[in-house]
Amino acid sequence: MPFLFASPAGNPYCVPKRQVTAEVILPGQHPLTVKLFLNECAETHGGRERPSDVLNGPIAFIPATDHLGKLILLQRDSVLAVSVAAVEESQADFTLPGEPAPNDVKSVQVEVVLEEGTTIRGIATYLMPEPQRRLQDFLNTADRFLALREDSIMHLVNKRRIAQVRPA
């Protein structure tokens, strides 16, 4: 269903967006189920926009709707974690020339403890150059959110809100 905006003259125009159900953890609150709005085409890669693209992107306030359909603006840096169906985070299966071979991909089972005490477990999968393949190197990349897969769920964890990470 498209997300509608109204122009100043009152003529509506449509910006096509996909609605993706997500569970959001905010400080001091119970998890909140929302709908995030994602573009059909990503700005930084081929394919559809993923929740991680929005969370790692430049905007500070992310639009969503609550269970009543009312608008919520989530302040990205306050979000502790966002959980979505893993299929919403899937990437196209192609390799560009010069990229490392798939056998260079590392997967590490980790336990992440957030600053307010919540523990999230999952598998961190990453592709890093040969001299920088440690978990520590991956955690220190510029992305704000760490993707952890737990079965059919992808947890996107705000790295700025992590107290500790333990390899399982």
DSSP of 46-104: SSS--HHHHHTSS-SEEEEE-TTS-EEEEEGGG--EEEEEGGGG---S---TTPPPGGG
For 3, other C-beta atoms within 10 Å of its C-beta total: 15
pTM for the whole thing? 0.84
Q: Which pLDDT does position 41 carry in this prediction?
A: 83
pLDDT band with cut points at 50, 70 and 90 for residue 131: confident
Q: Which pLDDT does position 42 carry in this prediction?
A: 83
Q: Which pLDDT does position 168 carry in this prediction?
A: 86
Q: Which pLDDT does position 143 carry in this prediction?
A: 95
pLDDT band with cut points at 50, 70 and 90 for residue 23: very high
Q: Which pLDDT does position 13 carry in this prediction?
A: 60
Tens of pLDDT, residues 35-93: 999 988 888 888 899 999 999 999 999 999 999 999 999 999 999 999 999 999 986 44
pLDDT band with cut points at 50, 70 and 90 for residue 12: low
